[in-house]
């Protein structure tokens, strides 16, 4: 989808993803119509406007608003072509302690985004999900699974509208705010790294790869897909060795709602999952196209029955310590040294 002349609204636009997405949009589409940053933190919007100044980048707009506020969200969506839904409460312990706040933003906020898209003539919606939405054991993952289901099902009630809604689901974003890499890099100064469990593994994706995945969904989605990237895993001990090889490593135990390994595709999803090359796509179980039609048109192939995509047990691509260091230097801190 050529985004030149188009208007794009990014919920949660001041977050790590939103900043990188907007940076890449401005570079890729010099004639883009409008980019609307929709978020509730005026300080972050002010700081972002110093980087993406509307004088230098006339496409930029900054809207204070919350996805919980349907009327404000609809006002922001006037004449918008594309919504990228990145707003969420995503800290697992905070969600466990404040469940209704997480539900209001992640589920009711998703419903408001869908209603705004249906009512305001939006053409494309891509919602960001998480590996924690697959077989969730914490509230954050459960709310994102609900959100995913809402966006998939919304394709069934669009009527004759030229509207496609899809989801992208990926693992830990290297260097994103609140993630383990910057946490370890900061803790390194103390000479001690706290590790929840030595067996722990996680998927790894860069912000750039996440943005490219969203652009792929905008270009290729039929509506109702959950796109999943093929990405490497790392062991938490290898990450600790990559950042602070001389640090003391203290085991503190897993946090409430945390998994040893993360999943992005469960065995129950395998029957509706296809391999489209760079990504997997979990197709909707009931919709206006069949799995066979999708595979033929997209040159995709079915995955084996009971296929599972797990960061520890089934992923065959692993990052080595030296590769983790290279990625940190490339994507997090160009001055990183051990």
Is pLDDT larger for residue 19 or for residue 288? 19
The whole-number pLDDT of residue 153 equals 95
Q: How far apart are CA 265 and CA 281, in angstroms?
A: 10
- Reported as a pLDDT band with limits 50, 70 and 90, residue 85 is very high
pLDDT > 90? residue 7: yes
Is the residue at 146 inside a domain?
yes
Q: How far apart are CA 40 and CA 14, in angstroms?
A: 9
Is the residue at 92 inside a domain?
yes
pLDDT in tens, 194-227: 999 999 999 999 999 999 999 999 999 999 999 9
pLDDT > 90? residue 176: no
Domain count, the chain: 1
Residues 6+ apart with CB under 8 A from 6: 29, 32, 33, 81, 82
Q: Active site residue: 20, 132, 144, 259, which one?
A: 132
The whole-number pLDDT of residue 257 equals 79
- Reported as a pLDDT band with limits 50, 70 and 90, residue 326 is very high
Is the residue at 127 inside a domain?
yes
The whole-number pLDDT of residue 255 equals 80
Q: Helix 207-220 and helix 16-28: axis angle, to 10°?
A: 60
Is the residue at 94 inside a domain?
yes
- Reported as a pLDDT band with limits 50, 70 and 90, residue 178 is confident
CATH classification of the domain holding 48: 3.40.50.720
The pTM (predicted TM-score) of the whole model is: 0.94
Q: Which domain does 137 fall in, by range?
A: 7-171+204-230+263-310
Distance of CA 193 to the CA centre of its chain: 27
Is the residue at 217 inside a domain?
yes
pLDDT > 80? residue 251: yes
Is the residue at 116 inside a domain?
yes
Is the residue at 328 inside a domain?
no
Q: How far apart are CA 115 and CA 199, in angstroms?
A: 42
Annotated catalytic, 132?
yes
Is the residue at 316 inside a domain?
no
Q: How far apart are CA 60 and CA 36, in angstroms?
A: 6
């Amino acid at each position: 989808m050529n985004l030149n002349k188009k208007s794009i609204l990014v919920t949660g636009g001041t977050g790590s993803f939103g900043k990188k997405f907007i940076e890449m949009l401005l570079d890729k589409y010099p004639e883009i119509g409008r980019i609307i940053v929709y978020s509730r933190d005026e300080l972050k919007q002010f700081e972002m406007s110093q980087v993406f100044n509307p004088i230098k980048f006339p496409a930029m707009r900054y809207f204070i608003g919350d996805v919980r506020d349907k009327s404000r969200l609809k006002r922001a969506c006037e004449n918008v072509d594309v919504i990228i839904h990145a707003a969420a409460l995503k800290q697992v312990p905070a969600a466990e302690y404040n469940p209704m706040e997480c539900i209001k933003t992640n589920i009711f906020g998703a419903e408001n985004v869908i209603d705004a898209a249906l009512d305001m003539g939006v053409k494309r919606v891509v919602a960001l999900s998480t590996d924690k939405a697959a077989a969730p054991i914490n509230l954050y993952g459960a709310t994102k699974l609900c959100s995913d289901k809402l966006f998939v099902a919304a394709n069934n009630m669009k009527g004759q509208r030229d509207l496609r809604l899809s989801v992208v689901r990926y693992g830990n974003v290297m260097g994103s705010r609140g993630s383990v890499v910057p946490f370890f890099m900061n803790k390194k100064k103390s000479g001690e790294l706290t590790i929840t469990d030595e067996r722990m593994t996680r998927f790894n994706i860069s912000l750039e790869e996440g943005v490219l995945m969203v652009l792929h969904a905008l270009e290729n989605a039929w509506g109702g897909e959950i796109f999943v990237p093929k990405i490497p895993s790392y062991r938490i001990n290898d990450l600790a060795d990559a950042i602070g090889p001389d640090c003391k490593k203290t085991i503190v135990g897993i946090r409430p709602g945390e998994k040893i390994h993360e999943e992005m595709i469960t065995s129950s999803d395998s029957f509706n999952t296809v391999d489209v090359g760079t990504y997997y796509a979990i197709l909707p179980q009931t919709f206006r196209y069949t799995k066979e039609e999708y595979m033929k048109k997209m040159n995709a192939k079915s995955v084996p029955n009971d296929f599972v995509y797990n960061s520890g047990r089934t992923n065959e691509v692993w990052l080595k310590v030296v590769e983790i260091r290279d990625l940190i230097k490339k994507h997090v801190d160009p001055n990183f040294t051990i």
